[in-house]
Amino acid sequence: GNSVTQMEGPVTLSEEAFLTINCTYTATGYPSLFWYVQYPGEGLQLLLKATKADDKGSNKGFEATYRKETTSFHLEKGSVQVSDSAVYFCALSEYYKLSFGAGTTVTVRA
Amino acid sequence: NAGVMQNPRHLVRRRGQEARLRCSPMKGHSHVYWYRQLPEEGLKFMVYLQKENIIDESGMPKERFSAEFPKEGPSILRIQQVVRGDSAAYFCASSLGQGESNQPQHFGDGTRLSIL
């Protein structure tokens, strides 16, 4: 079956630091890959996505590249802000069903 | 520009009562998905519905849980005879497409269910 494993948190950073959250997946076919972000008390918001190998998703300074050879989709941001504090979820979908990682809590300190 | 609307935001029930969670998809979306998030965990798929049809309920517990998406009105997730283990955040998502893997699902803010 499909599964997603992402780096455990929590992660605490200072403003302007570099952020990486590792995500690897197991899938039987060729899934689409996503990063979602969840702010406290809110639902998930789609941050970025990639639908095929070597695609790079990007949004709001975040990037992730679909690596088929390493089955990975690591999230990176070069300079984080306090407003980036949230829980980040890596997810994959084949057809309609999303499978999520456990989430990584990121706290950015001023 | 209404997104996915869920209500109530918070719901408190006593053991043995019924819980009804409602979800109105984004305008124009006819595909609805329900997910459950237990504390400190990621979301787990429960059910996928289209108007008047349950497409996949493989993630739903076999007893006490049911879901519907009528021709008119919101989708409803119903939990009968709730138990403490049902305490969780329940999220609804909707999509525009035919359930293809590259159609993004848009999430509501969730209903946080607490069982006393």
CB contact under 8 A, A93 and B101: yes
Instruction: Determine the pLDDT at residue B101.
Output: 56
- The string of pLDDT tens digits covering residues B63-95 is 999 999 999 999 999 999 999 999 999 999 999
Q: For residue B1, what are its two tokens?
A: 């520009």
Per-residue pLDDT at B92 = 96
Residue B98: its pLDDT value, please?
61
d(CA B29, CA B10): 24
Question: Which pLDDT belongs to residue A29?
Answer: 83
Predicted pLDDT at B102: 55
DSSP string, A48-103: EEE-STT-EEEETTEEEE-BTTTTB--EEESS--GGG-EEEEEEEEETTEEEE---
Using CA coordinates, name the residue in chain B closest to A88: B42
Closest approach of chain A CAs to the CA of B113, in angstroms?
13
The predicted-structure confidence for A6-57, as pLDDT tens digits, reads as follows: 988 899 999 999 999 999 999 988 899 999 999 988 888 999 999 999 999 9
Q: What's the full length of chain A, in residues? A: 110
Q: Give the amino acid at B15.
A: R
Q: Quick one: pLDDT at residue B42? A: 81
Bridge partners, residue B45, by sequence: B35
With cut-offs at 50, 70 and 90, classify the pLDDT of residue B99.
Answer: low
Contact B15, B79 (CB under 8 A): no
What contacts B64, CB < 8 A, 6 or more positions away?
B79, B80, B81, B82
* Mutate: best of A98, A104, A105, partner B, most B CBs <10 A: A98
B12-67 confidence digits (pLDDT tens): 999 999 999 999 999 989 899 999 998 877 889 999 999 889 999 999 999 999 99
Which positions ≥6 away from B115 have C-beta within 8 Å? B12, B13, B14, B15, B82, B83, B84, B85, B86, B87
Question: What burial letters (b/e) apply to A62-86, b meaning 16+ CB within 10 Å?
Answer: bbbbbbeeebbbbbebeebeeebbb
Strand, coil or helix: what is A17? Answer: coil
CB contact under 8 A, A102 and B42: yes
Judge contact between A31 and A91, C-beta under 8 A: no
Question: What are the angstrom distances between the C-alpha of B67 and each of A1, A20, B32, B57?
Answer: 24, 38, 10, 9
pLDDT at B41: 78
Residue A31, chain B, CB below 8 Å: the answer is: yes
